[in-house]
Amino acid sequence: MATARRLCSIDVLLLFLGFPLLQGAPSRATDTIAAGQPLSGGQRLVSRRGKFALGFFQPDTSSPNWYIGIWYNQIPKHTTVWVANRDAPLSDPATSRLTVTTHGNLALHDGRAANKSPVWSTNATTTGSTVGVLLDTGNLVLADASNASRVLWQSFDHFGDTWLPGGKLGRNKRTGQVTRLFAWRGYGDPAPGAFSLQLDPDGASSQYLLSWNGTAPYWTSGNWTGHGFTAVPEMMVTDSYPLSLYTFGYVDGADESYFVYDVKDDAVLTRFVVDVTGQVKFLTWVASAAEWMLFWSEPKAQCDVYALCGAFASCVENALPSCRCLRGFSERRPHAWMQGDHAAGCVRDTALQRCATREAKNHDRFYTMPNVKLPSNAQGVVAAASARDCELACLGNCSCTAYAYNGGCSLWHDGLINLQDTSSTAGTGSGIIQIRLAASEFTSTGHNKKLIIGFVAAAVVVAAVTAIALAAVLVLRSRRSKGPTRAKLEGSLMAFTYRDMQSVTKNFSEKLGGGAFGSVFKGSLPDATATLVAVKKLEGVRQGEKQFRAEVSTIGTIQHVNLIRLLGFCSQGTRRLLVYEHMRNSSLDRHLFGSSHGVLSWETRYQIALGVARGLDYLHEKCRDCIIHCDIKPENILLDDAFAAKVADFGLAKLVGRDFSRVLTTMRGTVGYLAPEWISGTAITAKADVFSYGMLLFEIVSGRRNVEQRRDGTVDFFPSTAVSRLLDGDVRSAVDGRLGGGADMDEVERVQGGVLVRAGRRGCQAEHGNGRAVSRRARRCQLAAGPEVAQIAR
C-alpha cells in the first residue's frame, strides 16, 4: 500500500476504520399518525427514508421520567433533536398516548396522571381532519389530512436545544413570535435550562446572542456580512474547507428576519446545538468513528460562559474538569457534576458561624484566593480606607460571602458566581478575592499546642522514614535497571512510583504549563548532574496498567533530534505521568506571540519550520508503524537551548485513546488547526498532520495567531486573507512586520508553499490548464502536491 495511504496505529484513529453507519430497519413502517391511531409504548413513527424516528425515550435510565421526542434513526448513538414535553415528563410510556384529538391537534396524555388533561399539545387552530407527519428533515408537522402541503403547526417553529438544517431561527415581524434555542437543564434533563440563543431582541441588528436566564448576554455572533457572521471566522473560509458542504443565508424581509442553513449532501448529518455547557456547537456525524465530531463552538473560551460553574465554584480554562469548587465547598449535585453539568454549583461544607450565632466564639475568617478574574456583579461597593476596613464591612453583613480590596472595597453577597481562576493561563484582569469561610475550615494555631507539637514530631519522623525509603527505592531501581528483565520490559525508560514523582517535582510545586491533557511540572532527577525534567500528569487516560506500560514502552523507543525525548513514566493505580527532557526555551507560542521573549529572527523561524517537518516526516515515514500526531500547534513545539525544534506530545493520541478526539476538538484554539478529514468522515491519515503543519506555518511566517479578535469585537481569520494574497503572488505581505524586511524571500516562498498542501494535484492541473504553468502560483501548487511535509523537510 502506498505510503500516503497508510493508516496509523493510534487507537483513536483506528476508530475511524471500523464502525460503519448502521442501517437499521424502522420498527414501524409509517411516518404518519392519524385520528384513531394513537402512539404508545414502544411504537414509533419513522420518516419516509428512515432518517428520523419519533417515540418515547428516557434521556437518563437512572431516572423514572419518560418523554416523547425525535431522534436520528440510522446511527448507533441515540441523539435526540427535539422533545415535546420538556417540562412535563411521563411516568410510564405503556399507559401514555400521543393522539390526534377530535379537535385536530396532536396531544400527549399521561395515563397514570390524575389530571386527564394532556401534558402537551400543539394548540393549533384547525378545521377538519388532520394528520401528524414526521419528515426526513426531522420536522414534525401537523397538516390537513386532505392537503398535506397545508401545514398548521410544525416543530421547526418550536425549537428545543437543536437547530437542524432547513429550520429558521429568527423573528416574525408581524406576530412578534421569536424562535429560540434553549439548552437542556442537564444531560439527563431536557427541561429548558438557563442558556438560550436568539436573534437580537432589539431588532436593530442581524446578530445572535447567547444569554443566561434571558438577562445576561455573554456572547454575540457579530452582524451578518453576506458571507458569514463577523465573530464566527469558521464560516468565512475557502471551498477546500468542510463548510463547502453547507449553504448559509440570512433573510431580512418585510414579514420576518431569520438565519437558515442547509447541507448540499443529504447523507451528511449535521446539527447545531446549545449545549448544557452554555456553548453553541456545530457538530457533524462521522460514521466511521460512530461519533459526533465538533467543528466549532462559541464562545471558544469555556470560561466565557456566564455562570457556567454555578455558585461558589471557579472556572479554569484549558482544564478538565473546567469547574472546581472553592475551598470549603463541595458539589451540590455530585452525580450531575461528574457528568459535566455544573449549573447547580457548590455548597458550604460548614455553615458560617458568625451569622448563625452572633455570640459565637469562633468568628468567620477569609481565605485568600489569588490570580482570579473577579466577578463583574459586585453587589456592594463601600468606602474603606484599608483592606481591614473592607474585611470588617463584609463581616458586618451576614449575606456577604466575599470581598476584594484594590484601592476600593467591593463586596459580593449570597452565591458567588462567574469567578475565573487565571493562575494557569496568565489571563488579563487577574486580582485577589477573599472568600468568607467558617473558622473551623482553618487550622487553629492558638489551641491544643501539645497536640500540634505531637503532629510536628510525627511529621518529622514520617519525613525521615520517607526519605530513607525513597533512597532505597532509587538505589533498587538503579540496580534493577542493569538487569536484563527490566531492560526487556521497559527498554531505556525509567519506571517511577508516584512518590518518586512527588520528590522529583518537590510535590508538583513549579508548574510549567497545562492544557486539556494535563498539567506539566518542572522537576530534577536525583542523579549526579541533577537532570532537569518536565513531568506531565495525564488526565483522561483509562487504559489498564499493563496496556499503558506497553504503549509507553513503544513510544519510548522512538528517538529523533526533532522529537522530544521520553525519559520515564509512572503508572500507579489511576495515576499516569510521563517524564520528558526539559526544554529551557519553552514552547514556540511564547516566542511567536509573547512580548517578553523578543522577536525570533527569520533564520531561527526557518530552522524551526524545517525541524518540525523533519520530526513529522520521521513519525509518518520512518517508524515501524506510522504515528499521526493529531495536534500540531505552536504550544506543542518545544525549543532547546539552541532554539532547535522538538515536537512534543506525539504519543498522546495513542495513550488517551477514544477520548482523544473529544478532548482535542474542545480545547481552546486547537480547532483552528484541525484538518477537514475530522469533519468530513474520511479516514484520518498522515495528511491530517500536514494540514495542521500548514496552519502552523502561517503563524511562523506571520508571527501572529491565525484567529484574532479586532478592537471592534469582530474576528480576523488570517488564513483566508493570506491564502488569497499568496495565490496572487504577494508573498511579502504575509511576513511578520517585526522582522523589518530581514527575511530571505526565497525561503519565505518555499515555506509559504507548505500552507497550500490542501490544494492537491487536481488544483495544480487547473493551474496548468489556465495557461500559467510557469507562474509562481503553479510552482507553489506543485510543491504542495508533492510528498508534502517530507519535501519541506528536505
- Active site amino acids: 631
Residues recorded for the chain: 794
How many helices (H) and strands (E) in the chain?
19, 42
Question: How crowded is residue 172: how many other Cβ atoms within 10 Å of its Cβ?
Answer: 15
Give the burial class of 116: count Cβ atoms within 10 A of its Cβ; 0-12 exposed, 13-18 middle, 19 or more buried.
Answer: exposed
Answer for the pair 318, 515: CB distance below 8 angstroms, yes or no: yes
Q: Which residue blocks in 448-497 are alpha helix, DSSP H?
A: 449-480, 484-490
Nearest to 296 by CA among 746, 709, 772, 679: 679
Q: DSSP secondary-structure letter at 440?
A: G
At residue 341, the 3 state secondary structure works out as coil
Cell numbers linked to 15: 476508530
How far is residue 180's CA from residue 122's CA, in Å, rounded to a whole number?
Answer: 17
Residue type for 105, please?
N
Answer for the pair 616, 629: CB distance below 8 angstroms, yes or no: yes
Give the burial class of 728: count Cβ atoms within 10 A of its Cβ; 0-12 exposed, 13-18 middle, 19 or more buried.
Answer: exposed
Answer for the pair 300, 306: CB distance below 8 angstroms, yes or no: no
Cell numbers linked to 649: 506530545
3-state helix, strand, coil in the chain (%, to 5): 30, 30, 45
CA distances from 20 to 15, 46, 47, 52, 417 (A): 10, 21, 21, 18, 44
Element (DSSP H or E) covering residue 555: helix 545-556
Residues 6+ apart with CB under 8 A from 425: 317, 318
Element (DSSP H or E) covering residue 182: strand 181-186
Determine how β-strand 494-496 pairs with β-strand 566-572. parallel
Residues 6+ apart with CB under 8 A from 773: 767
Q: Per the omega criterion (within 30 degrees of 0), is the bond before 299 cis?
A: yes
Q: Per the omega criterion (within 30 degrees of 0), is the bond before 321 cis?
A: yes
Residue type for 663, please?
V
Answer for the pair 387, 405: CB distance below 8 angstroms, yes or no: yes
Element (DSSP H or E) covering residue 337: helix 334-338
Answer for the pair 134, 46: CB distance below 8 angstroms, yes or no: yes
User: Vertex 238, ends 235 and 239: CA angle to 5°?
Assistant: 105
How far is residue 260's CA from residue 163's CA, in Å, rounded to a whole number?
Answer: 9
Number of alpha carbons in the 13 Å side-chain half-sphere of residue 278: 30
